[in-house]
Amino acid sequence: MDKVSGGASLDGLKSDFALLDDWEDRYRHVIDLGRELPVLAEADHTPANKVRGCASQVWLVSRRSGPADNPVVEFYGDSDALIVKGLIAIAFMIYSGQTARAILATDAGPVLDELGLSSHLTQQRSNGFAAMIQRIKADARAALHDSPGAWIAGR
């Protein structure tokens, strides 16, 4: 549950945030996470992959593997805003590479609370993050309910 593409871990992020006293430093760290997010192919910047409910443009792609009754879902994403790319990276630390059932059972709220992000994100950013999590969970549900032949790469 700790790794995201690029090698950053949720435990590592918690440790980093514990060392950073100033919220400006924490925001810069989130932006750095966004810069480290693997590049999403331009072909994946489609209306179907766009997350609704985000003020910034956000694209999210999911791919499943493993057994049909509880597949592993990997997520890939991008945004036109660096801070949002960092929030995408945090969401991926929580969810990417997990089984669909684990994704559906995991609440991102306690992680945001532990990092202190809940109280430091604007309402608009909080709503956008919630929209990303809803999309991640919808993709996990789809991975569980679709037959393997019906799963389309990227959705």
The verdict on whether 72 is a catalytic residue reads no
55 found inside a domain: yes
- Indicate the number of domains in the chain: 1
CA gap 69, 12 in Å, rounded? 31
125 found inside a domain: yes
pLDDT at 47 over 70: yes
4 found inside a domain: no
84 found inside a domain: yes
List the catalytic residue out of 51, 54, 90, 143.
54
CA gap 89, 78 in Å, rounded? 9
Q: What pTM did the predictor assign?
A: 0.86
Mean local confidence (pLDDT), 29-34? 94
35 found inside a domain: yes
CB 84, CB 27: distance < 8 Å: no
Q: What residues make up the domain containing 86?
A: 10-146
3 found inside a domain: no
2 found inside a domain: no
Domain CATH for 110: 3.90.1010.10
Q: Read off the pLDDT band of 3 (50, 70, 90).
A: very low
pLDDT digits (tens, 9 = 90+) for 76-117: 999 999 999 999 999 999 999 999 999 999 999 998 888 888
100 found inside a domain: yes
Q: Would you state the pLDDT for residue 140?
A: 96
